[in-house]
Amino acid sequence: MNSSLTKAFILIIALFGMLACSSGETTPESPIETFKTYTKAIKNKDITTMKLLLSKDSMRMNEMEAKSRGIPVDDVVKNETLFSENQRTVKMRSEKIDGDKATLEVENSFGAWETVPFIKEDGVWKLDKKGYQQRLIDEVNQGGQQLDDIINQSRQPQTATPEQPQP
């Protein structure tokens, strides 16, 4: 009896081990896989998975926004999607990985391509909405600097070249 009980216990432990390895979704191994999992979570309204696929800094930003608006962080996460809820397909292209950072171009609901940043945290690729926000700020600053340069050039006194005497 004791031997049968031990065998049954070992069999149950082995069964649980196999189920744990084979059940559920696997950890996304690339930015593209992370984005596919994220879009599936959006469509399924799986906020837990969405939150797991956002970087720590992105979640901190969401928590700060939720606190300032007096709403649950889940509401911020579910309302902050990268594509329209009515969009049937999401096109992706140009995955670029550089160490622990990556980008992926994603077509939005207006047909324009947006660059979505990713960061690898604890060995897992996650969407980096903070990086996305920083990229937008940098683009605005760069555009502002270019505008300043144009304005400054137009303010510089123009030097006239003296006319050459006609022979």
> Is residue 130 within 8 Å of residue 55, measured between CB atoms?
yes
Which two tokens mark 41?
């979570």
Instruction: Write down the pLDDT at residue 12.
Output: 40
Q: Which residues pair with 54 in a beta bridge?
A: 127
Is the whole model's pTM more than 0.85, yes or no? no
> Is residue 37 within 8 Å of residue 25, measured between CB atoms?
yes
Query: What residue ranges of the chain have pLDDT lower than 70?
Result: 1-28, 81-86, 131-136, 138-139, 146, 148-149, 157-167
CA–CA separation, 54 vs 58, rounded Å? 6
Structural domains of the chain sorted by starting position, each given as residue range(s) with its CATH number in brackets: 26-151 (3.10.450)
Instruction: Write down the pLDDT at residue 6.
Output: 42
